[in-house]
């Protein structure tokens, strides 16, 4: 496995792989890798001959008072996990390499409609930062396929729309959410939780399951189901950010006739913001 830190090194290395006819896969991450991230790499290895995992804590997608400075940077540990998984190339650029002219002068990519609401409403500008850096990584790596986790459901929808709207010749693959034994979605931010908070956190998944079961049984009073779930979260000591039942394709509020539904949830536990989702086909 090779680790490179500049775009020039990356492109030179990938050129040699392309000369051998290799299909290139990309797994964009912010590092601090856990088994969920590794599952994305494993998925990419099924789709491509050469897999690049990028590790870059993107300042553009963090808002004021968010955890940019404290976000864990664990490159050496990440490299060991990636090498064990069979990853081929690690691309770990500095912020100066990615944004040589600074954030204020950076061209941005905005994906309308699907970026709105949910995390887009709670974190203004977040998805502009995501779509911008992902489009830049796509240009740097020029992958044939890129793998993203379904845990960040709205992010995956944003990337898919961006690729479609801009006619990027890249296959976008979604990988299922990896969970702990108690159902909690694996996340780098789980490391922020205290022991007590970690015991409380699985209630998010429990609420999602209860709502999914109700939807599967034909319940269509979405507002009542959302209110019931928020109450469950609050009573368990969490502070709901949003809990929305949406059309899986548009991410707009679900309508009774919709067959593909997704429940999107975000809640604060202490100072840690956790997100999760479940999809239901009726």
User: Exposure string (b/e) for 122-146, b if CB count within 10 Å is 16 or more?
Assistant: ebebbbbbbbbbbbbbbebbbbbbb
In a shared domain, residues 117 and 223: no
Residues noted as catalytic: 37
Asked if residue 74 belongs to a domain, the reply is yes
Q: Mean per-residue pLDDT for 68-95?
A: 96
The answer on 259 and 124 residing in a single domain is: no
In whole angstroms, what is the distance from residue 90 CA to residue 37 CA? 13
Mean pLDDT score of the chain: 96
Between the alpha carbon of residue 63 and those of residues 43, 60, 68, 169, 190, the distances in Å are 31, 8, 8, 31, 19
163 in the same domain as 202: no
Instruction: Say if residue 134's pLDDT is above 90.
Output: yes
My answer on whether 54 and 113 are in the same domain is yes
CATH number at residue 58: 3.40.50.620
Q: Would the pLDDT of 102 be above 90?
A: yes
pLDDT greater than 90 at residue 63: no
Confirm whether 238 is domain-assigned.
Answer: yes
Range list of H helices, the chain: 7-19, 35-47, 75-85, 95-98, 119-122, 126-141, 153-165, 195-200, 203-216, 222-235
Return the percentage of the chain with pLDDT > 70, whole number: 100
Distance, CA of 84 to CA of 267 (rounded, Å)? 34
pLDDT of residue 64 exceeding 90: no
Does residue 67 surpass a pLDDT of 90?
no
Torsion of CA 115, 119, 125, 128, to 10 degrees: -40
Q: Tell me the pLDDT band of 84, cut-offs 50, 70 and 90.
A: very high
What pLDDT is stored for residue 72 in this prediction? 87
pLDDT at 121: 94
A 10 A CB-CB count for 280 gives 20
Distance CA 168, CA 143 (A): 10
pLDDT of residue 70: 83
Same domain, 112 and 208: no
Tally of domains within the chain: 2
| pLDDT band with cut points at 50, 70 and 90 for residue 65 | confident
Show which of 131, 150, 175 is a domain's final residue.
Answer: 175
Residue 31's pLDDT is 95
Domain end position, chosen among 140, 175, 210: 175
Q: Provide mean pLDDT across the span 77-92.
A: 98
User: Is residue 246 situated within a structural domain?
Assistant: yes
Given the structure tokens 């399951």, which residue do they identify? 209
Q: What's the CATH number where 208 sits?
A: 3.30.1300.10
Whether residue 268 is predicted with pLDDT greater than 90 in this model: the reply is yes
- Look at residue 183 and tell me if it is in a domain: no
| Same domain, residue pair 85 and 154 | yes
Closest-CA residue to 161 (of 242, 251, 246, 247): 251
pLDDT at 66 over 90: no
> What is the model's pLDDT at position 8?
98
Q: Which pTM was predicted?
A: 0.94
Region 193-217: mean pLDDT is 96
State mean pLDDT over 49-59. Answer: 97
Q: Are 143 and 112 in contact (CB under 8 A)?
A: no
Share of the chain above pLDDT 90, in %: 95
Q: Same structural domain for residues 58 and 196?
A: no
Q: Per the domain annotation, does 83 fall within a domain?
A: yes
Q: Residue 260: exposed, middle, or buried by beta-carbon count in 10 A (0-12, 13-18, 19+)?
A: middle
pLDDT-derived band of residue 135, with 50, 70 and 90 as boundaries? very high
pLDDT of residue 282: 85
Same domain, 95 and 224: no
The parent domain of residue 164 ranges over 2-175
**Do 108 and 162 fall within a single domain?**
yes
Average pLDDT over residues 217-244: 97
């Amino acid at each position: 496995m090779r680790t490179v830190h500049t775009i020039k090194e990356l492109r030179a290395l990938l050129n040699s792989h392309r000369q051998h006819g290799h299909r290139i896969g990309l797994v964009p991450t912010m590092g601090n890798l856990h088994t969920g991230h590794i599952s994305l790499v494993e998925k990419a290895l099924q789709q491509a001959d050469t897999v690049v995992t990028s590790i870059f804590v993107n300042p553009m997608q963090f808002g004021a008072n968010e955890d940019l400075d404290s976000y864990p940077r664990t490159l050496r540990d990440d490299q060991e996990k990636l090498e064990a998984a069979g990853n081929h190339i690690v691309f770990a650029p500095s912020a100066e390499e990615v944004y040589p002219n600074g954030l204020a002068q950076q061209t941005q990519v905005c994906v309308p409609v699907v970026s709105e609401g949910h995390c887009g409403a709670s974190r203004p500008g977040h998805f502009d930062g995501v779509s911008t850096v992902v489009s830049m990584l796509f240009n740097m790596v020029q992958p044939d396929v890129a793998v993203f986790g379904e845990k960040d459901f709205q992010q995956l929808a944003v990337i898919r729309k961006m690729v479609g709207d801009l006619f990027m010749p890249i296959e976008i693959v979604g990988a299922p959410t990896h969970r702990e034994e108690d159902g909690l979605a694996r996340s780098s931010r789980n490391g922020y939780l205290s022991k007590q908070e970690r015991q409380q956190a699985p209630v998010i998944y429990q609420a999602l399951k209860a709502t999914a079961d109700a939807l599967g049984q034909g319940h269509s009073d979405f507002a009542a189901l959302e209110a019931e779930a928020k109450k469950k979260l609050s009573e368990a000591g969490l502070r709901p950010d949003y809990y929305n039942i949406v059309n899986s394709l548009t991410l707009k509020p679900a309508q009774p006739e919709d067959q593909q539904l997704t429940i999107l949830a975000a809640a604060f536990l202490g100072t840690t913001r956790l997100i999760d989702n479940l999809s239901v086909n009726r």
